[in-house]
Amino acid sequence: MGKRIHNFNPGPAALPLPVLEEIQGEFLDYKGSGMSITEVSHRSAWFEEVINDAKVRVKRLLGCGEDYEVLFIQGGASLQFSMVPMNLLPDDQVADYVNTGSWSAKAIKEAQILAKKVRVVASSEDRDFTYIPKNIDFNEDAAYVHITSNNTIRGTQWSRYPDTGTLPLVSDLSSDIMGRPMDLTSFGLIYAGAQKNLGPAGVTLVVIRRDMLDRVPDNLPTMLRYTTFSAKNSMFNTPPCFAIYVVQLVLKWLEETVGGLAKMEKINKEKAALIYNYLDKSDFYRGTADKEDRSMMNVTFRLAEQSLEQIFVEEALANDLGGLKGHRSVGGCRASLYNATVLEAVEALVSFMTDFERRYG
């Protein structure tokens, strides 16, 4: 095997090494089929077993029962920005949205493009999205409440989901899905592009409460209706088979190797604390998110001397620490600590940060 670096990419992101090795080991001959998983029919027993096992594992890990459907859809979370209001927001109703950054803003914009009625009930734009709004007043007539669980660009995360009472909560969980246990009781729908915490790019996980499916109008294009995917086991047409197969292996790794989401959260908290503790005692680096709303998944920071940031990123890569450049819209630096990023990688990063500060501080 060639050299592998410590991968802090924000997405596509690190995958668990044991999963990559399992893919490699059975890539040419999947389960004695004489074919790669990329070659078998999506109608075959081989793939049917893959997708059904993935659905079962999603439900087990999230602790949701038969009142939820697990769907695999293409188009990324970005397509869900429009699919959610198309399917769940009738023209005569209004939805409440909370704006905590770029992805929330995109979701709001897509709903507005569809001429859907949207209320932005809270926003953290007044302080450059460095915090999560608190004590939000939701409207009793809202069709649903939409939030972005974790904000990859600004490094903030909902540590507690808002209390929406009987209003169904809808959330983009692309960057922290399966990073911690969650109670789905208040959620009508969650969605997550796989390429950050679940698998490779190309598939989006949607978990929807069955009663929400009753809202889906008949006059939507077939491939934009959640009911199409629920009725056909996500195989109305050819699904992204390889991406779903990798997601299934990552879910198996989470269950059988890590030992579930509570254990995953413990590891994630330990990883994040390593960097945040270092940032808090340094005058050379500065975290950009409010302490109480910091993300476990995406640690965003600036250097006191911003002209050094490019040098920092370049020298880090030369030291086998990749993907540390901040999002192009905000600059700075960012370390993405998704589930597959191991503790040793974070220790190596903090060691490099310490050495860099010693040399340039």
Residues with catalytic roles: 103, 172, 196
Phi, psi of 89 (to 5 degrees): -120, 95
CA-wise closest residue to 338 among 3, 59, 13: 13
- Residue 326: half-sphere exposure toward Cβ, Cα within 13 Å: 20
- Residue 248: half-sphere exposure toward Cβ, Cα within 13 Å: 22
Is residue 234 within 8 A of residue 248, CB to CB? The reply is no
CA dist 192 and 12 (Å) reads: 13
CA dist 72 and 47 (Å) reads: 13
Q: In which order are the strands placed within the sheet that holds 142-148?
A: 68-73, 204-209, 187-193, 169-172, 142-148, 94-99, 117-123
Rounded (10°) CA dihedral 110, 115, 117, 123: 30
CA dist 161 and 39 (Å) reads: 41
